[in-house]
Amino acid sequence: MADRKKFKQPDSELIHGVIVVPLKVVPDERGRLMEIMRRDDAFFSGFGQVYLSTVFPGVVKAWHYHNVQEDRFTCVRGMVKAVLYDDREASPSRGRLNELYVGEHSPTLVVIPAGVYHGWKCVSEHEAYVINIPSEPYNRSDPDEYRVDPHDGGIPYDWTRKDG
């Protein structure tokens, strides 16, 4: 078993610049509607693209950050445990770690500022569908994406399930 003493526990206060927006699902006899984001939202800072990413049960997709891009994501099928870590030198919340559960049972939009490490793990029994609406389009020739190993990359977080 991993030595849990080296791992950081999630903080209750959000990382500086992170926004968490509970989303409202409106059901009727035809189905459901859920607004994810609007250009008149106070946090809207531009539009790059919209894409769908999936993650299989138990799989971790982490860690990465962007120098310029702001990520804005929600999970529309299944559930993910999203984890954010602030290692920005000038940030008032440097060293803070947030753990958020996002998905069918907790419809939420998470806005992640540039420079904040983030990733997620599928915690549902079926594949999770994550929609991201980043502020910048993906640049295939010079990606604004910087990756760190999810288990040995120096971020003090343990992705294993915690029972109890």
Q: In what order do the strands lie in the sheet with 108-112?
A: 19-22, 108-112, 71-77, 128-132, 51-55
Indicate the domain borders of the chain.
17-147
Which has the closest alpha carbon to 77: 134, 131, 132, 133? Answer: 131
Q: Is the separation of the CB atoms in 88 and 67 below 8 Å?
A: no
How far apart CA 90 and CA 77 sit, in angstroms, is 36
pLDDT of the residue at 1: 40
Q: What is the pLDDT of residue 111?
A: 98
Q: Which residue has the tokens 């030595």?
A: 3
What CATH superfamily is the domain 17-147?
Jelly Rolls (2.60.120.10)
Rounded-to-integer distance, Cα 52 and Cα 35, Å: 16
**pLDDT score of 5:** 54
What is the model's pLDDT at position 6? Answer: 77
Q: What's the pLDDT score for residue 26?
A: 96
Report the distance separating Cα 79 and Cα 21, nearest Å. 16
Cβ(134)–Cβ(42) under 8 Å? no
Q: How far apart are CA 110 and CA 160, in angstroms?
A: 22
- Specify the pLDDT at position 22: 97
**CA separation for the pair 109, 112 (Å, rounded):** 10
- Chunked into runs of 10 residues, the chain (164 residues) has average pLDDT values of 67 96 96 96 93 98 97 98 97 97 98 98 98 97 96 92 86
